[in-house]
Structure 1
Amino acid sequence: MAQTTQETDWVSRLADEVIAEAERRAPGKRVVCASGLSPSGPIHLGNLREIMVPHLVADEIRRRGIDCVHLLSWDDYDRFRKVPAGVDPSWSEHIGKPLTSVPAPPGSPYATWAEHFKAPMIAAMDEMGIEVHAISQTEQYTSGAYREQVLFAMRERRRIDAVLGRYRTKQDQAGAAAEEGAEDADARTALEGSGAAAEDDGSGTDDSGYYPYKPYCAVCERDLTTVTAYDDETTELTYTCACGHGETVKLSEFDRGKLVWKVDWPMRWAYEGVVFEPSGVDHHSPGSSWVVGGQLVSEIFGGKQPIGPMYAFVGISGMAKMSSSKGGVPIAVDALELMEAPLLRWLYARRRPNQSFKIAFDVEIQRTYDEWDALVRKVAGGTAQPADAAAHARAVRTASGSLPTTPRPLPYRMLASVLDITTGDEEQTLRILREVDPADPITSLDETRPRLDRAARWVETQMPAEQRTRVRREPDEELLAGLDDTQRASLRLLVERLGEHWSLDGLTTLVYGVPKLQAGLPMEAKPTPELKVTQRGFFALLYRLLVGRDTGPRLPTLLLAVGEDRARHLLTPPQ
């Protein structure tokens, strides 16, 4: 049934399309959404969109009471292509082996390269409430699950070759075309090394013909092999390897190899009955696997290409677009150290798949949290726009239940400021946070977790050294002695009223209100342009007296962190 509530957003619209398409293809059967990830390196926050788009759609379908599964194919039977920077160069001896046959990087607790890079993604998905049915392509191929599909593809190799041949002349232009379509410099950077135009289609073996199957050598385990002969009747396949080994095997019994990628992907669409699967920009260039796969799945494998949007890139604030081939890129568990899972989900849910966006690891994360908290207040007050309310709902809960949240979600920027000033001292942190709202004081830091822990990690790992706050131990006698009468009066007004305004809201009113009182206005008066100039000068004076520079954390938070007695000590002008 189509979504008819006001909460119509891009997820609901795609769910409508997927449900309708599934009914056309196989009425009454389980709806299959799919993703694919290669654990060849760090599975970065751009790759996370490959998971989040079908997750959100599948979850919406399940919310409507319809049987739906989200398949995650781990492409762990792919070849190991290159040794990343920072890894022992001797790992080059493993190039060409399946990722599940390559040892994990030095120091890893995992046995294989594939498991090492799968593990953090699996942990992140669990924390984010993403439910998938995971499929290991190593297990699928080595167990013989795809045997009939492999034998069929080999029998149909000439027809497959003909389909692929339509696109081979376009491959030289494919990379350039994809780059032209990239929206910005970050997106173009992402195409480097993507391989979209040069994905393996099995061509270029030798004059003996085209074969869509690539064996892994029995001796060296690598795919540096060339199929030289194949008999459709007996299924005998002969191959040679660059290592010098050669043999003849019966493909009806041989399970140490795989279909080349451009044939493998459409085969799986038909095999799994995939209805919905998104794909990245680089898969949509001429001759790439998505384009060619659409032809192969219908003309050869008797299936249909999934519907699904092309999704845009995800960047990091202050960094070029992430490319896992470059190494050293933020992954989902890195983001979850700095932000709560609902916030990370919201960043993907609020943008249509074809919209690029950035995730802030720098100081902009505070603005992101401010936006999120503002949305939460609007949702609670019933004033959020329908699409915004829907994105919020998808962020905080799934069809299986709600995600954990912080009981007392204090502003992230305030927590970061407090933790910066207290250097994480829990006793001092609790003292300050208890005074934020004296009428309803926080009695335990657990009330502020996990957000407090995320802010602490941000201060520890991301806060620039020059932005660290160091409160003065003693008054700046020279600055205090040189104050004019107006400045002295402003400080006395502030210090006299500290006690009665000692809360976050009270101090906010006070620091903005002192210049108003000096101008003969009530504290609740709206500021004029001239008054704003006076306020900025007053704030700069307070910062210089408290932390020795013209700017710093928000003054109400800073004053709470300094403490009433110490603030009086630092701000009281001489008589």
Structure 2
Amino acid sequence: MPIVAQQSTETDWVSRFADEVIAESESRAPGKPVVVASGLSPSGPIHLGNLREVMTPHLVADEIRRRGYEVRHLISWDDYDRFRKVPAGVEGTDESWAEHIGKPLTSVPAPAGSAYPNWAEHFKAAMVASLAELGVEYDPISQTEQYTSGVYREQILHAMKHRGDIDAILAQYRTKQKPKKSQKPVDEAELEAEEGSGAATEDDGSGSAGYFPYKPYCGGCGKDLTVVTSYDDETTELAYTCSACGFAETVRLSEFNRGKLVWKVDWPMRWAYEGVIFEPSGVDHSSPGSSFQVGGQIVGIFGGKQPVGPMYAFVGISGMAKMSSSRGGVPTPADALKIMEPQLLRWLYARRRPNQSFKIAFDQEIQRLYDEWDALERKVADGTVLPADAAAHSRATRTAAGELPRTPRPLPYRTLASVVDITAGHDEQTLRILSELDPDNPLKALDEARPRLDRAENWISTHVPADQRTVVREEPDTGLLASLDEQGRESLRLLLEGLDTHWSLDGLTTLVYGVPKIMAGLAHDAKPTPELKVAQRSFFALLYKLLVGRDTGPRLPTLLLAVGADRVRKLLGA
């Protein structure tokens, strides 16, 4: 029995869609589970733009579950789609895979060395693992299994019987000019993400012999480069020829299972067959005359209704130029989960409305994102959080099934990154430094800081170029020390004098910011002035040069802790 929710104070987009979807479901199919859907084509690495196709309905479905309703989130693996092209940069492939273009994805060999039986299963596997880590509950549907087992037989025969009606709907759009593409410059990753699976631009079944919404896969070469030449509604005999290999045959469609409806008919057929109430779609499916709009008219032929279907916007990536060039594509959820915890990734999708674009950081920006997340956690803990932010936080950290596993001691990500940068991941040194961050409540074991620590270490090792890594000097820079004026020597003396009494993260922060204040004759709690900020920057640059031989580096309090008091004294000339 559904829980009757009180008027919600939440103003987040998820609650609003949940209200709409529940009302629509009770209107269409009272008493039945609410059905939301996603579709993913495992035609190559499934990227973070595709993840929005899953996270948008997942978050809505989870909110509906929280209210006590039964929900089914269907994820259709479009693994019976044609293999369109060989993606660039996929390890274990070469130009020979091009010979499989036109075959179903489940009939294409997996990349060399893969543990999976075919191309589709190979690329599904990483996404399945990522969805489990993200806490996404769903019912998987393989379209290969659906079509080849005859599940859609009645729907296929119905579509062929009503092909004239379908053709008339499609004809309204064939003569319309496609809107011109934006002339703004976009990067390679954005172009690839906008392409989607390619289903949005598939042919609609038109041919010289008439309109047929069904396309067989050839019995000779296995490709879909076939043309239906005739069809008999009474006997269901269908004749086709293959333009790739010349094969031709006549089959009974009432018994034949080696083909599929064209995309613009397949999608609305599934809406009706599955009773889908909510399914978002990307820009490529949502423009005038595209799949979602046309499907809204075709779905009536199958006795169904178009789902509530918001368009979702582009998901951008910052700091991925290096990875894009090596992989030939945009990063996947698995790539993101190597450097960030599931809660942070869920939050990025939960806090923005589907029609708002946003970026996922793989560069230095990830540290700022983590700072923002930790600040939100503190507001939630002390009760000062705004309702919409509280809702996004709740959706990020838990599902209707319970809370996602979390790091017991979530130390600041930028601190963890700095420490593993300096220690090169040496566990004993890392624990020593982290245990000194808060002497009153020292970290006792690295597992308390995991998995966030592991994510920070992965980020440092895979996304920070070698020339930006921190290397602590082995010996003092005697030339620089000798060249210091009296003011420079005095500032170092004050710092060294305060090390023992300030040896914690907060203490060292106070110390390094306080030395320039003392030098300027100010109190330790003096407000920063433009002149003081200049003096602090000069002092920090001096410390960086003496410790790591550069003008900048990790935050100085963290760097000092990582280097250790004895070595700091040595490098600063004590």
Q: TM-score, normalised by structure 1?
A: 0.95
Q: Distance in 2 between matches of 1:418 and 1:557?
A: 7
Separation of aligned partners in 1, 2:185 and 2:46: 22
CA distance in 2, matches of 1:473, 1:96: 60
Query: Residues 163 and 293 (structure 1 numbering): CA distance in 2 closer, same or farther, change over 3 Å?
Result: same
For 1:217 and 1:323, locate their aligned partners in 2 and report how far apart those are by CA, in whole Å. Answer: 35
Amino acid at match of 2:178: Q
Supply the distance in 1 between the matched residues of 2:87 and 2:444 (Cα, whole angstroms). 48
Tell me if the contact between 1:262 and 1:289 (Cα under 8 Å) persists in the aligned partners.
yes
Please give the alpha-carbon distance, in whole angstroms, between the structure 2 residues aligned to 1:511 and 1:16: 53
Residue 173 (1) aligns with residue 200 (2)? no
Post-superposition offset of 1:134:
0.5
CA distance in 1, matches of 2:184, 2:513: 43
1:3–1:12 CA contact under 8 A, matched in 2: no
1:76 alignment counterpart = 79
Question: Matched residue of 1:185: which SS?
Answer: coil
Contact 2:192–2:329 under 8 Å retained in 1: no
Runs (4+) of structure 1 exceeding 6 A deviation are none
- Mean Cα displacement is larger for which, 253-262 or 188-197? 188-197
Alignment of 1:284-363 (within 5 A): 284-298=286-300, 300-319=301-320, 327-363=328-364
Question: What is the match of residue 204 of structure 2?
Answer: 201
Closer, same or farther in 2 for the Cα pair 1:547/1:366, shift >3 Å? same
SS in 2 for 1:229: strand
Asked whether 1:270 is paired with 2:272, we answer: yes
Deviation at 1:450, TM superposition (A): 0.2
Q: In structure 2, how many angstroms separate the alpha carbons of the residues matched to 1:444 and 1:480?
A: 38
Q: 1:236 matched to which residue of 2?
A: 237
> What secondary structure does 1:264 align onto?
helix
Which residue pairs with 1:429 in the alignment? Answer: 430
Residue equivalent to 1:103: 109
Aligned equivalents of 2:200, 2:109: Cα separation in 1: 29
Check whether the contact 1:213–1:259 (CA below 8 A) recurs between aligned residues: yes
The residue correspondences of 1:455-474 to structure 2 (distance < 5 A) are 455-474=456-475
Per-residue Cα deviation, 1:347-371 (whole angstroms, up to 9, x for no partner): 0001110000110101111111111
CA distance in 1: counterparts of 2:521 and 2:478, whole angstroms = 29
User: Which residue of 2 is the match for residue 28 of structure 1?
Assistant: 31
For 1:474-533, what per-residue CA distance to the aligned partner results, in whole angstroms no more than 9, with x for missing partners?
A: 111111111111111111111011001000000000000111122222212222221111
Please identify, of 326-335 and 532-541, the stretch whose mean Cα deviation from structure 2 is larger. 326-335
Q: Is the 8 A contact 2:320 2:363 kept in 1?
A: no
Check the 8 A contact 1:2/1:16 in 2, yes or no.
Answer: no
Q: Distance in 1 between matches of 2:302 and 2:66?
A: 32
| Alignment correspondent of 2:262 | 260
CA distance in 2, matches of 1:479, 1:350: 49
| Aligned-partner residue type, residue 116 of structure 1 | H
1:192 CA drift (Å): 5.3
For 2:63 and 2:184, the matched residues in 1 are separated by: 30
Q: Distance in 1 between matches of 2:411 and 2:184?
A: 37
1:112 equivalent to 2:118? Answer yes
- After superposition, where does 1:465-504 map in structure 2 within 5 Å? 465-504=466-505
Match of 1:60 in 2: 63
Equivalent pair of 2:196/2:284 in contact (CA under 8 Å): no
Q: Mark the CA change 1:42 to 1:253 in structure 2 (over 3 Å): closer, same or farther.
A: same
Tell me the distance in 2 between the aligned counterparts of 1:288 and 1:236: 31
- Work out the CA distance in 1 between the residues paired with 2:6 and 2:36: 18
Which amino acid letter does the alignment assign opposite residue 487 of structure 2?
T
Q: Which amino acid aligns with 1:56?
A: L
Q: 1: CA distance between counterparts of 2:573 and 2:6? A: 63
What one-letter code is carried by the residue in structure 2 that aligns with 1:19? I
Q: Which residue of 2 aligns with 1:390?
A: 391
Deviations along 1:360-417, one digit per CA (max 9) or x if unpaired, are 1011111111111111111111111111111110000000111111111111111111
The answer to whether structure 1 residue 283 and structure 2 residue 289 are counterparts is no
Shift of 1:278: 0.4
Kept in 1, the 8 Å contact 2:277–2:307? The answer is yes
Match of 1:5 among 3, 8, 17: 8
Question: Where in structure 2 are there 5+ consecutive unaligned residues?
Answer: none
Measure the CA separation in 2 of the matches of 1:372 and 1:533.
Answer: 30
Question: Which moves more between the two structures, 467-476 or 80-89?
Answer: 80-89
Secondary structure at the aligned position of 1:247 is classed as strand
Aligned counterparts of 2:164 and 2:563: Cα–Cα separation in 1: 77
**Match for residue 402 of structure 2?**
401
Letter in 2 for 1:168: R
Task: Tell me by how many angstroms 1:283 deviates.
Answer: 1.1
What amino acid is aligned across from residue 215 of structure 2 in structure 1?
K
